[in-house]
Structure 1
């Protein structure tokens, strides 16, 4: 158990699952908000943390009259904690939902937990909030009798959406030359892309990406969609059909947890179809592994051995970013995602994203990066394997800067002041 107590602290940060994005958020708040005391438990045994962490923290968090705000992720049973520690009940309580259990694809429906007491309920995406609130009525119907009513209507006024703040490091030194050449000089907004004036940077549409990737590889890719932000011709246009861009196999990266809810079966089955069609590609499979790794990983590793560049979790952030910078396409096949830090990190590193047209993805990614069916995913990857230069010349129309800590810091600081809504 980790605990850090500030001098005359005013903000109590409690994290029952101190790992991954949960850890990153707590660390950001601790480093950037004055007067924080931090109490955490290691990121192990999620269900045990959800069921018992409140009891543990009730015994280990010291009484402190200067506390004004309590911030916790939804893993913690805040109801139990404030019941066991009445002195904490008076604080402004902020509960942050990285995910929600009402729509989590659990194996057994009775495994779901439900507990909520908070002054402010914060969700990392609109999809997270809407899916949570809309699932409450059906969840309550499982209660045999004496059901509470209108809980969703009671909770909604307390809710707000505040994107998860991603730390985007400067990766310029890790980017290959072709990514540096097409990197926007300043952050841009998706809404600005389609209205670019002649001579300014414009974006290739989804249909255009598909058309170009299906063209004869011997034909150059050119036109205003490939100009750089300064209005000068892209060096790739000055040398159409750069042999290095065309001949080097497409590098596909899958940077997700090795768990069933990320649907690795769909991803690997798609890659096996590419191999059946004798399409060449390179592959990096990253992400953390836990106790139960889906069998598909061991089954396909030998089948894809000749394609693999990197396989397994990289504990070094530098090495992880280096792989993302060298990759061309990042793929999500998730059937459970409320934000998707790994996808945004990959886009920051210049990868072309392909995501399901579902979950949180339409909220973040324009339609040109979304697929609706496994067949569409396979078709998109087939086209990009045949024309890897299309992915390498494309500037992704996602404003990652709006999800950065620099942009979101003022909102989190305002959240942690002692003012009840």
Structure 2
């Protein structure tokens, strides 16, 4: 049985789903180290220090044959700190990449996260991306960064990294579709985090566009939220109280219930590398309305996509929602993705 050290330095929702599902579906001798999904800048730079005691203890009586680390992990530093890991073959898994991640107004610009990921990629034998969009923007970002560096920059780095790259989505379990009765108006689902990169301000604009077109909808407001209420959510609660049928971050069973009830699921995100929440909702029967950008171009047909940022065009898609096609996303779901991961395991043995 292959012994694998899994390192996940930022256990947020999609990272947790990935770590759990990969270990569940692949038979191996797993050891997993994780860190909480908070304090992003500290996590991406500090994880080798945070894991020093655990790795020292673990490697006293156990040696991995392979390392599977997320791109939040400073893999190059970890291999330098632990001679026992230096020559262990490694796969570097990109949930996201810092070259294509939008920076909020409260964050400072720094190339440190990008350098961590570039060095981590150079320290790994295999680079795994959850979408082609993720892979392509990472490689383009590496090229752009290297061109900005002043001197002594070797050629061919992005070509080398591309040769090590493959696309391997997070395994997403499909959700059973349940027919529901006819409604007087469609149920529109928002199941994203209420944070800047998901652009809830644009979602507010969409609802106003629908109101102008005299196209009321029922709205399910799900997704994670912080203690401080997002300003757009507060306004939506005030202006569209008569449209809201649920406004909660529910447990898994209730979450699945609302996904199975939804007619439409909407995104206006500024970044999305795989869009697990969208995939779950679409697998449950919701029709997607998404920007013509990001990973969505790989997943959904043109009829479901609107020009990014254009809420008038998005509203037109929703007004004519019954003309949207049923979408086949089976290649992004179990069992197809599980088989892809089994092939990865067979290749590293």
Relative to the length of structure 1, the TM-score reads: 0.74
Structure 2 unaligned segments of length 5 or more: list them.
none
| 1:55 paired residue among 49, 52, 76 | 49
Which residue number in structure 2 is paired with residue 201 of structure 1?
none
Whether contact under 8 Å (1:105, 1:261) holds in the other structure is yes
Whether 2:26 is the aligned partner of 1:29: answer no
Residue of structure 1 in register with 2:40 after alignment: 46
Normalising by structure 2, report the TM-score: 0.89
Using the TM superposition, name which of 28-37 and 406-415 deviates more.
406-415
Say if 1:58 and 1:85, in contact at 8 Å, map to a contact too. no
- For residues 144-202 of structure 1, the C-alpha deviation after alignment (integer angstroms, 9 at most, x for no partner) is 44434332112111111112210224x35xx2345xxxxxxxxxxxxxxxxxxxxxxxx
1:19 aligns with 2:24: no
Alignment of 1:99-248 (within 5 A): 99-107=96-104, 108-110=108-110, 113=113, 114-115=115-116, 116=120, 117-169=123-175, 171-172=176-177, 175-177=178-180, 244-245=182-183, 248=184
Matched, 1:295 2:292: no
369 and 277 in structure 1: CA distance in 2 versus 1, 3 angstrom threshold:
closer
Deviation for aligned residue 1:419? 3.6
Query: Counterpart of 1:302 in 2: which secondary structure?
Result: helix
2 CA distance for matches of 1:282 and 1:55?
Answer: 48
Question: How far is 1:79 from its partner?
Answer: 0.9
Task: Give the equivalent residue in structure 2 for 1:377.
Answer: 314
SS of the aligned residue for 1:40 comes to: strand
- Secondary structure of 1:305's partner? coil
Q: Which residue does 1:332 correspond to in 2?
A: 267
| CA distance in 2 between partners of 1:380 and 1:401 (Å) | 23
| Residues 1:278 and 2:278 are matched in the alignment | no
- Alignment partner for residue 71 of structure 1, among 68, 75, 90? 68
> Which string of whole-angstrom CA distances, capped at 9 and with x for unpartnered residues, describes residues 205-241 of structure 1?
xxxxxxxxxxxxxxxxxxxxxxxxxxxxxxxxxxxxx
Q: Is the 8 A contact 2:268 2:290 kept in 1?
A: yes
Kept in 2, the 8 Å contact 1:69–1:418? The answer is: no
Runs of 4+ in 1 over 4 A off after TM superposition: none
In angstroms, what is the RMSD of aligned CA positions?
Answer: 2.1
Deviations 1:97-126 (A, max 9, x none): 011001111144326512222110000011
In structure 1, the partner of 2:326 is 396
Structure 1 residues 264 and 177, CA, compared in 2 at 3 Å: closer, same or farther? Answer: closer
SS of the residue aligned with 2:68?
A: strand
| Structure 2 counterpart of 1:267 | 203
Q: Which residue of 2 aligns with 1:85?
A: 82
Distance 1:142 1:406, change over 3 A: same
The answer on whether the counterparts of 2:303 and 2:325 sit within 8 Å (CA) in structure 1 is no
Distance 1:110 1:177, change over 3 A: closer
Deviation at 1:395, TM superposition (A): 5.8
Matched, 1:405 2:334: yes
In structure 2, what is the Cα distance between the partners aligned to 1:418 and 1:406? Answer: 19
Give per-residue Cα distances to partners, 1:231-281, cap 9 Å, x unaligned.
xxxxxxxxxxxxx45xx1121111111111111111111101222343321
For the Cα contact (< 8 Å) 2:209–2:311, is it kept in 1? no
* Residue range with higher mean Cα deviation, 126-135 or 368-377: 368-377
Larger radius of gyration: 1
Tell me, in whole angstroms, the C-alpha distance in 1 between the residues paired with 2:109 and 2:84.
35
Seen in structure 2, the aligned counterparts of structure 1 residues 418 and 382 have a Cα distance that, compared at 3 Å, is closer
SS for the counterpart of 1:283 is strand
Distance in 1 (CA, whole Å) between partners of 2:305 and 2:180 is 27
Unaligned runs of 5+ in 1: 1-7, 179-243, 385-389
1:153 to 1:292, Cα distance in 2 relative to 1, 3 A: farther
CA distance in structure 2 between the aligned counterparts of 1:364 and 1:404, rounded to whole angstroms: 11
Match of 1:199? none
Structure 1: distance between partners of 2:131 and 2:2? 29
Equivalent position of 2:188 in the other structure: 252
Rate the CA distance shift 1:38–1:309 in 2: closer, same or farther, 3 A: same
State the shift of 1:404 in Å. Answer: 2.2
Cα deviation, 1:59-82, whole Å, max 9, x if unaligned, reads: 312114541011011011111111
Q: How far off is 1:39 after superposition?
A: 1.3
